[in-house]
């Protein structure tokens, strides 16, 4: 008997779980906005050198002046000819001495137009996203450990407040440097929201409901991508957009006090009385008031006696690699998290390259997640986590490789394949979030989630840098993205299966499961070998 049995006794997946999961999932609508915000906040409008003060002396139209940009040291009048084919590569140019003029038809204002992040300063535009992802990485390390020490609920509540305050403050940034600092701190809060939200959901959900709930709640993130496109199209001003996607965090902060702390975590941290109160509250909301008298401290301890005896007060990242089973799980998950994020953000963070409206492209990229995640749900339910994880990675790699052989002028096909690739990487994200929460034990679940998800942030930071390789060989970025996905798919094959398996509470539970899997594999191998080498019989029953 374990905690899973207690959950069934207090109502299983009842009214409390429905409310609990919904409230924790709602912020997911705006987590996509945070991660993909740079596509719009730092969009690059069409631009040209600002017209010189004396341009009217030449009676030049706006078109004629923009034909003369970039700024040439000497006027190149031949470029104004309708069918000019002059070689401009050898012409001497200079910086725009009068600044830049930005087209306002697609974006009213972005960080690029605000601080002239073009030409030699163009790398600073992508640096904003890299710094933000650095914050997400830092938050995964810090908040993962803190939540195992101070609780999922406390760190989640703080993360909502931090994201609301610092996210809105970033809209008031007077300089590029200030904005980058606010985005870094906002990224830390995003990690706190995502990681603690996942754990707090998983630890209150019965075993059989985890697959369905985990996949369906990921659609909040999918809807969020489409909401971001609508908000960006409506506002078109980076400061207003920044405020609108961050201000709702104050609402989430206000109602997050309703959450109950994970009873699993409370028991394993010697706070059994608080755990009992939480279970009584859940039983009352689920319509099981008779369980309040039946569920006592003695009953609670009898269900979790083994876990309490083997638990310790604190764990570190070292414990993730200390034993054979934990080491195997952690190494495989590092590869899966890195490659999934690496390929995902490589495809999702450069929407302007597709030659389609960036707002439409964002909606398409969001919509493709629906069939991909339903596909993942089917696999997770019937084929298990391991097969689903490996399949999503292998299919995304296959599509990325296929795009290499499509000519650049066939833009529709290339865009379609990119959308499919993004869909499978998104399905891989859905799977790995659920899978990781099921693989790590309660006593170190958040530390584990934080540890392996740091590799996802490393992948998201490295993804834009790989795009530079297309100057060496256009196919090189796709080869790198696809190769990483293939490698991670191979690692996923070595993870233990968790379909319909109760959540582990201690490291010893994980080791027992891994040893059991190894023995089962060895027995299957021996049986297969024995079957192959055993004497065969013909149809008459004679040995041959």
Query: Can you name the residues that pair with 102 across neighbouring β-strands?
Result: 47
Same domain, 361 and 297: no
What is residue 73's predicted lDDT score, i.e. its pLDDT? 44
Query: Are 321 and 276 within one domain?
Result: no
Tally Cβ neighbours within 10 Å of residue 97.
Answer: 9
| CATH number of the domain bearing residue 38 | 1.20.1250.20
Q: What is the pLDDT of residue 253?
A: 93
pLDDT at 186: 92
Q: Which residues of 99-109 are buried (b: 16+ CB within 10 A; e: fewer)?
A: ebbbeeebbeb
The pLDDT tens digits of the residues spanning 16-29 come to 888 988 999 999 88
Q: Is 425 left (phi over 0), alpha (psi -120 to 50) or beta?
A: alpha
* Chain Cα centroid distance, residue 374: 18
Number of domains in the chain: 2
| Domain match, 244 and 114 both | yes
Both tokens assigned to 195: 């990681």
Do 385 and 433 have their domain in common? yes
Pairwise CA distance, residues 201 & 446, whole Å: 12
Report pLDDT for 506: 78
Domain that holds residue 420: 317-521
User: Could you tell me if residue 408 is inside a domain?
Assistant: yes
pLDDT in the model for residue 91: 47
- Same domain for 24 and 160, yes or no, is yes
- Residue 111: the pLDDT is 80
Q: Is there a single domain that holds both residue 18 and residue 165?
A: yes
Instruction: Tell me the pLDDT tens digit for each residue of 447-466.
Output: 787 778 778 878 887 876 67
Q: What pTM was computed for the model?
A: 0.71
Q: How many residues are given for the chain?
A: 544
pLDDT at 47: 58
User: Is there a single domain that holds both residue 331 and residue 285?
Assistant: no
Among 216, 251, 286, which residue's Cα sits nearest to residue 21? 216
CA distance 178 to 443: 38
Q: Is there a single domain that holds both residue 306 and residue 188? A: yes
Give a yes or no: residue 76 inside a domain: no
Residues 181 and 35 in one domain: yes
Query: pLDDT below 70 — which residues of the chain?
Result: 1-3, 43, 45-105, 116, 118-123, 303-319, 349-356, 446, 464-465, 467-472, 517-544
Structural domain contains residue 74: no
pLDDT at position 381: 84
In a domain, 77, yes or no: no
Check residue 311 and give left, alpha or beta (phi > 0: left; psi -120 to 50: alpha).
Answer: beta
Residue ending a domain, among 312, 336, 367, is 312
Whether residue 331 lies inside any domain: the answer is yes
Please give the pLDDT value at position 390. Answer: 93
Q: Is residue 540 part of a domain?
A: no
Domain-located, residue 205: yes
302 with 344, same domain: the answer is no
User: Which structure tokens are listed for 313?
Assistant: 């007060």
């Amino acid at each position: 008997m374990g905690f899973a049995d207690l959950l069934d006794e207090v109502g299983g997946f009842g009214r409390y779980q429905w409310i609990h999961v919904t409230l924790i999932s709602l912020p997911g609508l705006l987590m996509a906005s945070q991660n993909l915000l740079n596509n719009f906040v730092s969009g690059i409008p069409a631009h040209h050198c600002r017209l010189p003060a004396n341009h009217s002396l030449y009676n030049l139209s706006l078109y004629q002046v923009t034909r003369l940009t970039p700024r040439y040291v000497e006027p190149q009048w031949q470029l104004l000819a309708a069918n000019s084919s002059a070689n401009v590569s050898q012409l001497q140019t200079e910086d725009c001495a009068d600044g830049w003029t930005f087209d306002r038809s697609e974006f009213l204002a972005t960080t690029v137009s605000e601080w002239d992040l073009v030409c030699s300063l163009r790398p600073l535009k992508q640096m904003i996203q890299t710094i933000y992802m650095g914050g997400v990485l830092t938050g995964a390390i810090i908040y993962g450990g803190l939540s195992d020490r101070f609780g999922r609920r406390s760190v989640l509540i703080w993360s909502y407040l931090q994201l609301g305050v610092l996210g809105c403050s970033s809209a008031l940034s007077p300089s590029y440097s200030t904005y980058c600092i606010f985005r870094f701190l906002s990224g830390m809060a995003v990690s706190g929201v995502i990681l603690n939200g996942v754990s707090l959901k998983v630890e209150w959900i019965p075993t059989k409901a985890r697959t369905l709930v985990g996949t369906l709640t990921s659609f909040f993130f999918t809807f969020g991508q489409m909401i971001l496109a609508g908000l960006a199209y409506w506002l078109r001003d980076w400061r207003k957009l920044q405020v609108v996607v961050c201000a709702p965090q104050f609402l989430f902060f206000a109602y997050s006090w309703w959450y109950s702390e994970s009873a699993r975590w409370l028991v394993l941290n010697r706070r059994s009385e608080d755990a009992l109160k939480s279970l009584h509250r859940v039983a009352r909301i689920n319509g099981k008031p008779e369980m309040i008298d039946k569920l006592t401290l003695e009953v609670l301890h009898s269900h979790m006696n083994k876990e309490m005896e083997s638990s310790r007060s604190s764990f570190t990242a070292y414990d993730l690699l200390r034993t054979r089973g934990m080491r195997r799980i952690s190494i495989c998950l590092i590869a899966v998290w890195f490659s999934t994020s690496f390929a995902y953000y490589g495809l999702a963070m450069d929407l302007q390259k597709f030659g389609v409206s960036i707002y439409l492209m964002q909606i398409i990229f969001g919509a493709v997640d629906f069939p991909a995640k339903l596909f993942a749900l089917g696999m997770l339910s019937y084929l298990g986590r391991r097969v689903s994880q490996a399949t999503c990675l292998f299919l995304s790699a296959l599509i990325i490789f296929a795009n290499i052989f499509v000519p650049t002028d066939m833009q529709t096909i290339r865009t379609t394949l990119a959308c499919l690739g993004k869909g499978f990487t998104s399905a891989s994200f859905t799977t790995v979030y659920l899978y990781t929460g099921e693989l790590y034990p309660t006593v170190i679940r958040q530390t584990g989630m934080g540890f392996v998800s740091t590799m996802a942030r490393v992948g998201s930071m490295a993804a834009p840098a790989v795009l530079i390789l297309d100057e060496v060989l256009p196919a090189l970025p796709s080869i790198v993205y696809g190769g990483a996905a293939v490698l991670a798919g191979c690692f996923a094959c070595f993870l233990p299966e968790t379909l319909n398996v109760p959540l582990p509470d201690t490291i010893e539970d994980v080791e027992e499961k891994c040893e059991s899997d190894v023995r089962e594999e060895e027995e299957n191998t021996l049986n297969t070998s024995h079957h192959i080498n055993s004497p065969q019989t013909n149809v008459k029953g004679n040995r041959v």
